[in-house]
Amino acid sequence: MDLRAELLKSIWYAFTALDVEKSGKVSKSQLKVLSHNLYTVLCIPHDPVALEEHFRDDDDGPVSSQGYMPYLNKYILDKVEEGAFVKENFDELCWTLTAKKNYKPDRNGNSVISHQDAFKLWCLFNFLSEDKYPLVMVPDEVEYLLKKICTAMNVELNSCELDDYLSQEPQGQGGLTVWQFLDMVNSGRFLRGIEQEAISMAVEEVYQEVIEDGYLWKKGQLRRNWSERWFMLKPSALSYYMSEERKEKKGSILLDKHCCVEVLPDRDGKRCMFCVKTSSRTYEMSASDTRQRQEWTLAIQTAIRLQAEGKKSLHKDLKQKRREQREQREQRKAAKEEETQRLKQLQEEKERKLQELELLKEAQRQAEILLQEEEQRRRQQHEEMQRTLEIQLREAEQARASMQAEMVLKEAEAERQRKRILELEDMQERLQEALQQEVKARQDEEAVRYAQARLLAEEEEKLKQLMKLKEEQEEYIIKTQREKQVLKQEMENKNKCLEEAQKQLEEVRVNRQRVDQDVMAAQRKLRQASTNVKHWNVQMNRLMHPIGPGDKRTNVSGGVFAGYQPLLSRRDSSLK
């Protein structure tokens, strides 16, 4: 199913929603508004002139779907480019138009699914419905979709109850309409006892699986950082966007037969990693859990295979296979009915021939009397022929027995071959497990070797630092020893100076003692001299007093002894 057919299904719902009177025609004003909205959501340049010209008011009245198709094909569908618009916005537009008229949930708020879940189921219905109008989904596809939803919730679908419901529900065109399908889901008959949140999560999971998109963590090429991106898978490319609105496309991974997908071990704080290898680059990605990683790797591998086979989509391919299987079942059913009719005709022919045989037997009994001799001859011939046939029958029995024995031997050989194949498959699985374990062990060994090399490099660096410190310490020790020797020499010099100073001090002390002794002797001599001087002065005064009375004698006496005073003062200063 190409893009045009997918878009036509949604547009058909929008057109029928605008057909209020169910006459198969819609007014031009409504089609004008619908076309303008389709221009917007499909990101097609508006052509207001053609729009006004085609839907101008005249006496033609409303337009049927066949009358609207030429304008739709020429001005809208022929200009649509895949990937240039957000299909979810287009589906929401058509769903909004048709849900107002046709979707009737429980007004008391007891609906099993929400309005958004109903929209996603409507999209899934359009994807799985038959490519003929009015759109219906055959019972096999209904069971397939319900089973996927129940599987997502880890619940088993009651197929018998579904068959009873489908047998009671009136089906037009060999299947259910989307509104019958939504009423069946909202009835809670198959999803009773399950919370609405769990149903919403299951519908979202199935919707993302069929639409083939979702969030993944991707490692950058230049900055090597991890970023969360919205991925959308197509058989030709794996595109990724900034968010699920798909407004800003960040890049695309082209898929071809040379691409491959590999599971990676957890590292850099990321788990559930895998990579997509192309001829030019390797893209590393991380899923939220193991199940999502397995789904993405399987989907990408299937997309690569479908690209090599020239097919469009995994689910479209599965849908086509299910449709072919249904057609084959219908063909087998028709062939079986034809075989039954043929057997019935053969039975009638057999009865007619039995009747003819009875008539022939009657004629034979009437002719037996006339043919007794001929019968005797024929009997002999018959006995001979019977003997010949018995011989041939025994030979055939022997050949059959030999063939049966040979068949038994071939069956035993085939059984041995089957066992051998099973053993080889088991051995292959064990070898694959051992190979995976060996790969993982080698990766771990490389990581350990890398860590060991890093530790050795760090140890060498530390050893160099220690050697440098040792050299600096040795230089410092040598320098210290030199300084110690210098200090020791200085101390020895100072000690010598100190000893000399002590000797000089001792000499000074000895000289001082000697000088003190000299001073004491001089003081004694001075005291003795002073005593002598006083004595002589007294004697002189006594002697000089009677000689001359008057002033002149006094002056003479003073003049005679005045010369002793400077002499005594100079001696006293020298003694001091």
Structure tokens at 81: 């480019």
Question: 3-state DSSP call for residue 447?
Answer: helix
27-37: pLDDT as tens digits: 878 888 888 88
Check residue 257 and give its pLDDT: 82
pLDDT at 314: 54
* CA atoms of 196 and 342, how far apart (whole Å): 54
pLDDT in the model for residue 155: 78
Give residue 555's pLDDT: 43
- Give the per-residue pLDDT at 564: 42
Amino acid letter at 473?
Answer: Q
Task: Compute the distance between CA of residue 534 and CA of residue 561 in angstroms, rounded to an integer.
Answer: 11
Contact of 62 with 25, CB cutoff 8 Å: yes
Give the DSSP letter string of 121-158. Answer: HHHHHHHHS-SSSS--B-HHHHHHHHHHHHHHTT----
What residue spans define the domains of the chain? Answer: 1-87+97-102, 88-96+103-321
- pLDDT at residue 560 in the model: 39
Burial of 214 (0-12, 13-18, 19+ CB in 10 A): buried
The pLDDT assigned to 337 comes to: 86
Would you state the pLDDT for residue 568?
43
Q: For the chain, which residues score pLDDT lower than 50?
A: 1, 59, 551-572, 574-576
Place of tokens 């596809």: 141
Q: For position 316, what pLDDT does the model report? A: 64
- Listed in sequence order, the residues at least 6 apart from 315 whose beta carbon sits closer than 8 Å to its beta carbon are 127, 209, 210, 212
Instruction: State the Cα–Cα distance between residues 302 and 288, nearest whole angstrom.
Output: 21
What is residue 526's predicted lDDT score, i.e. its pLDDT? 85
Task: Look at residue 545 in the predicted model and tell me its pLDDT.
Answer: 59
Q: Extract long-range pairs of 214-219: CB within 8 Å, 24+ residues apart.
A: 214/292, 214/296, 215/244, 215/288, 216/240, 216/285, 216/286, 216/287, 216/296, 217/270, 217/285, 217/286, 217/287, 218/283, 218/284, 218/285, 218/286, 219/283, 219/284, 219/285, 219/286
Residue 576 has a pLDDT of 41
Sign of the alpha-carbon dihedral angle for 454, 456, 462, 468: negative
Q: Which CATH class is domain 88-96+103-321?
A: mainly beta
